[in-house]
Each structure stands twice: as C-alpha cells, then as structure tokens.
C-alpha cells in the first residue's frame, strides 16, 4: 500500500509537470530562463507577504511574482540598463529582501530549505487544490493564446503588422508564467523552478517536429523526472526537489546519447 504523503507528492508533482512542459517550451524558445529565475527568486518576499497579510502563502507568492512580472514588462521600455543587468538586480535583490524580511519576523519559523529547494513530500491537500486549480487556469490560458504567442515568438513586429494583439498576449503570458512559477515552488523550490521548466523542454526538443509535440513530450519527460526523483528521494532519503532535477538531467543526458532515428 502506497503511503498517503507519497501519493499526494506524486499527484502534485505530476500536476506541476503538466503545467511546466508547455510553459517551459516557451521559456526555451523565447530565451526566458533568466526571467523565470528572477520571478521565482522573489518567492520569499511572497512568503513574507503571506505571513504579514495572513493569507495563503501560495497566494502571497503569486501576488509578488505577478508584481515583478509587471515591473519587468514595463522596464523593457527603459534604455538605461540592459535587461540581464536589470534581471540580475531584481533577482538577487528580491531573494535577499525575502531572506531579510523573514529573519526580521521573529515569531515566524519556516522551513527555509523547503522553500529554497522544494519539499514535495510535505504537499498537503490544499496544495494539491492550488496546483490543479491554478495550473488548470494557466494551461487553459496558454491554450487560448497559443497561436498568437507562437507568431510573436517568431517575430513580434510581423505579428503586430498582421493585426495580432501582441501587447495583450505578452501581458497574459507573463501573468500565466507568474502563476506557473508560484505553484511550482512547492515541488522543486524557488532555486530549481527554472530547471523543471527548461530541462524537460530541452530534452523534448530532439524528438519533436512541431511546437505542440515538443510541449507534450516535455510534459511526459517532466512526469518521468518527477517519478524518478520521488522514488530516489523515498528510497535513498535524498532531498526531493534536487532529486527530481537530477533525474531530469539524467533523462536529458540519455536523450543526447541515444542516436536519432
């Protein structure tokens, strides 16, 4: 008989992999890895916010990620700093701010390592509702903007001249990515969110000839990474988040080694 907590972990992990596959594909195509890092690093500020406002912590994380996404979007229009400098400032700034804020709150004791690297074995039923509810919204939203988003990924101005709602689509995509990052936090932790976004997608690339195929393969590969990581974590008592990433990396290595048909 499978333990309850292990079952919850499995269901939660697979839920996250379902969302991470398609979003991760866009992160790879649009070179947004650093952007994803920046969003996830702000999560601790969200946790602090959650404690201050006494709201659900995932909601707090979502609010902060969303705010940061808007900030980053608006800052594209300034020309003072290059975008990677700006991302670096916001990424490490928010990470440090989160750590400082939490240290300052004396009566709050949190499992810091759990937030940094994920604690999938501690997933509660409420967490599952969040993962499947918010994840479902994120996936439906992405399906809705799928076609214009592909066009924008190829050439933004061309999409604009053809009359596609470029700004609206970009905004929506950023919002959905923030949502995705917020729910992925629990499973792999803020430092490894980007890994679970890009590794399955990168692994899927070699076997995909269409964007849709790549997204679906990324989901499948993500699921296998989660299962493999969980089993490793369960039997060898290794930290769950890093174990999932390690098993993802192994699959990636395997995909490079096996010859292409």
Q: Does 256 bind other proteins (CB under 8 A)?
A: no
CB 258 to other proteins: min, Å: 18
- Written as six digits, the tokens of 9 are 């972990």
Give the integer Cα–Cα distance in Å for 181 and 176.
Answer: 9
Binding mask 178-217 for other proteins (x = CB under 8 A): -----------------------xx--x--xxxx-xx---
How far apart CA 249 and CA 79 sit, in angstroms, is 37
Find how far residue 139's CA is from the centre of its chain.
13
The answer to the question of residue 81 lying near other proteins (CB under 8 A) is: no
User: 180: closest CA among 244, 133, 124?
Assistant: 133
If binding is defined by CB under 8 A, does position 259 make contact with other proteins?
Answer: no
**Alpha helix locations (H) across 76-105?**
83-104
Q: Tell me, residue by residue from 148 to 167, as one string, x for binding to other proteins by CB under 8 A and - for no binding.
A: x-xx-xxx-xxxxxxxx---
Coil, strand or helix at 206: coil
What is the C-alpha to C-alpha distance for residues 209 and 11, in angstroms, rounded to an integer?
29
Q: What are the angstrom distances between the C-alpha of 61 and each of 30, 44, 53, 86?
A: 24, 7, 12, 21
Residue number, 31 or 109, with CB nearest to other proteins: 31
Q: Is 260 in the site for other proteins (CB under 8 A)?
A: no
Nearer to other proteins, 5 or 207 (CB): 207
| Per CB under 8 A, 261 contacts other proteins | no
Binding site for other proteins (CB under 8 A): 28-29, 31, 79, 147-148, 150-151, 153-155, 157-164, 201-202, 205, 208-211, 213-214
């Amino acid at each position: 008989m499978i333990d309850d907590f292990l079952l919850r972990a499995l269901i939660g992990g697979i839920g996250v992999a379902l969302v991470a596959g398609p979003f991760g594909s866009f992160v790879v195509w649009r070179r947004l890895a650093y952007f994803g890092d920046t969003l996830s690093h702000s999560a601790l500020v969200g946790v602090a916010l959650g404690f201050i406002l006494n709201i659900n912590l995932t909601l707090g994380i979502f609010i902060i990620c969303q705010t940061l996404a808007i900030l980053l979007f608006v800052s594209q229009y300034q020309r003072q700093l290059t975008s990677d400098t700006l991302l670096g400032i916001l990424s490490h700034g928010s990470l440090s701010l989160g750590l400082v804020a939490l240290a300052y709150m004396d009566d709050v004791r949190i499992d810091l390592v759990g937030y940094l690297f994920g604690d999938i074995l501690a997933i509660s039923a409420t967490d599952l509702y969040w993962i499947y509810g918010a994840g479902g919204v994120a996936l439906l939203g992405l399906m809705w903007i799928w076609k214009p988003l592909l066009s924008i990924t190829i050439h933004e101005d061309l999409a604009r001249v053809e009359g596609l709602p470029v700004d609206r689509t970009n905004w929506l995509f950023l919002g959905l990515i923030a949502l995705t990052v917020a729910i992925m936090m629990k499973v792999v932790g803020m430092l490894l969110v980007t890994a679970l976004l890009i590794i399955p997608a990168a692994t899927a690339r070699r076997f995909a000839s269409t964007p849709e195929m790549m997204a679906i393969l990324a989901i499948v590969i993500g699921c296998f990474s989660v299962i493999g990581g969980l089993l490793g974590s369960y039997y060898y008592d290794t930290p769950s988040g890093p174990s999932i990433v390690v098993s993802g990396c192994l699959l990636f290595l395997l995909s490079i080694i096996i010859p292409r048909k």
